[in-house]
Amino acid sequence: MVRRLRFSAKGLEEVRRHSWRDEYKELLYAALRLKPDQLIVDVGCGTGAFSRILAEKLDWKWGGRIIGIDRDSKLLAAARRLASASGLSPRLEFMEGDAKNIQLPDEYADRVVCQALLWLMTENDRANVLKEMIRICKRGGLVAAVEGSIDTSVGWFPDDPRLTELYAKSTSAMLKGYKKVYGYDRSIGYKIPSLFKELGLSQVRLDGITDARLRSDDRFPSDHSRGVLKLWYLQYPKQLLSKVDKIAGERGKKAFIEKNERVLTAGGMAWKEIIELNRLKVAYYSRVTSQRAMGKDATVEAGIHFVTTGIKA
């Protein structure tokens, strides 16, 4: 049985809510060829962060609206709450459902989209989801998938070359490990155009929108940067290290790491390197999470949003 990943609403929203700067949004809207009166279905919407970004371009008085679909009722509850708080509720609707069996009619929507969904699937499930997305898209409408590829990611820590080295090694290990443990392809972003062509979509296009982030960039709210760091780079490493330090002997520590870090282990990263990486993360990010230090942080992270689009003939 293939394992599945689960995400908390807090963690997912913290990462995604500032993932599209205003200048990137305009590139996204152009790639999707959005118009104010369109009906859009967002498949695998999670907490609705991507749905809300698209909703900004719509006018509900002209009929523009988005239906977000997800199988996780807790994420959908958060999506509804966040939509209400954003003032975008008239343009947004959320429904629980399976991406492989979408409970909507044939040729229903002008745009059918997904973000960071297809990498979380096996090859067979991915094909079935894309077929469903094409089914509910109107003839002449557009199907789009926005995905990353971890092998295009960059992480640079100017004050810690060893952390930079281990970060790069962990990225490579994740690419291999997710495939072995879950059957997932974390380099799927630039491979989707071939899938679109195989499934009969026309005018297939690929846009690459670079997401380059300087941690101290004043265009990102500092509370968001600190929130992401504490949640993703500090909370889990601290918990992991706390448990490791309580285990006596190298054999026990090795067994614990290999059990709890199956992906990195399967990807070829040594258990001692995984411990070292987490210690360096805690030391580094503990230094830069204060308000004063955040403004001086020159850490750089970068990746590419691959936006693949195709027209249903």
76 & 167 share domain:
no
What's the CA gap between 213 and 160, in Å, rounded? 18
Confidence of residue 148 (pLDDT cuts 50, 70, 90): very high
Predicted local confidence at residue 221, as pLDDT: 61
Asked whether residue 149 carries a pLDDT value surpassing 80, the answer given is: yes
Asked whether residue 39 carries a pLDDT value surpassing 90, the answer given is: yes
Predicted local confidence at residue 2, as pLDDT: 42
Lowest mean pLDDT among 11-20, 181-190, 294-303: 11-20
What's the CA gap between 53 and 27, in Å, rounded? 12
209 & 288 share domain:
no
Asked whether residue 31 carries a pLDDT value surpassing 80, the answer given is: yes
Residue type at position 238: K
68 & 113 share domain:
yes
Asked whether residue 179 carries a pLDDT value surpassing 70, the answer given is: yes
How many CB atoms neighbour CB 300 within 10 A?
16
- The rounded percent of the chain whose pLDDT value lies above 70 is 89
Predicted local confidence at residue 229, as pLDDT: 66
Predicted local confidence at residue 218, as pLDDT: 75
Confidence of residue 5 (pLDDT cuts 50, 70, 90): low
Q: Are 48 and 117 spatial neighbours (Cβ–Cβ below 8 Å)?
A: no
Q: Note down the domain range covering 108.
A: 9-149+187-213+304-311
Residues making up the chain, counted from first to last:
313
pLDDT tens column, 291-308: 566 678 888 989 999 999
- Report yes or no on 227 lying in a domain: yes
**Residue range 161-173: average pLDDT?**
96
Confidence of residue 248 (pLDDT cuts 50, 70, 90): very high
Predicted local confidence at residue 187, as pLDDT: 96
- The rounded percent of the chain whose pLDDT value lies above 90 is 74
Q: HEC states along the chain?
A: CCCCCCCCHHHHHHHHCCCCCHHHHHHHHHHHCCCCCCEEEEECCCCCHHHHHHHCCCCHHHCCEEEEEECCHHHHHHHHHHHHHHCCHHHEEEEECECCECCCCCCCEEEEEEECCHHHCCHHHHHHHHHHHHHCEEEEEEEEEEECCHHHCEEECCCCHHHHHHHHHHHHHHHHHHHHHHCCCCCHHHHHHHHHHHCCCEEEEEEEEEEEEECCCCCCCHHHHHHHHHHHHHHHHHHHHHHHHCCCCHHHHHHHHHHHCHHHHHCCCCHHHHHHHHHHHHHHHHHHCCHHHHCCCCCEEEEEEEEEEEECC
- Report yes or no on 120 lying in a domain: yes
Asked whether residue 12 carries a pLDDT value surpassing 90, the answer given is: no
131 & 261 share domain:
no
Confidence of residue 10 (pLDDT cuts 50, 70, 90): low
- Report yes or no on 221 lying in a domain: yes
Q: What pTM value is reported for the model?
A: 0.89
- Report yes or no on 2 lying in a domain: no
291 & 174 share domain:
yes
Q: In a 10 Å sphere around its CB, with 0-12 CB exposed, 13-18 middle and 19+ buried, how is residue 205 labelled? A: middle
How far, rounded to the nearest angstrom, does the alpha carbon of residue 172 sit from its chain's CA centroid? 18
**Residue range 32-61: average pLDDT?**
94
Predicted local confidence at residue 19, as pLDDT: 74
List the CATH number of the domain containing 135: 3.40.50.150
- Report yes or no on 21 lying in a domain: yes
85 & 129 share domain:
yes
- Number of domains composing the chain: 2
Confidence of residue 1 (pLDDT cuts 50, 70, 90): very low
- Report yes or no on 3 lying in a domain: no
pLDDT tens column, 191-238: 999 999 999 999 999 999 988 888 777 776 655 555 666 666 788 899
Confidence of residue 170 (pLDDT cuts 50, 70, 90): very high
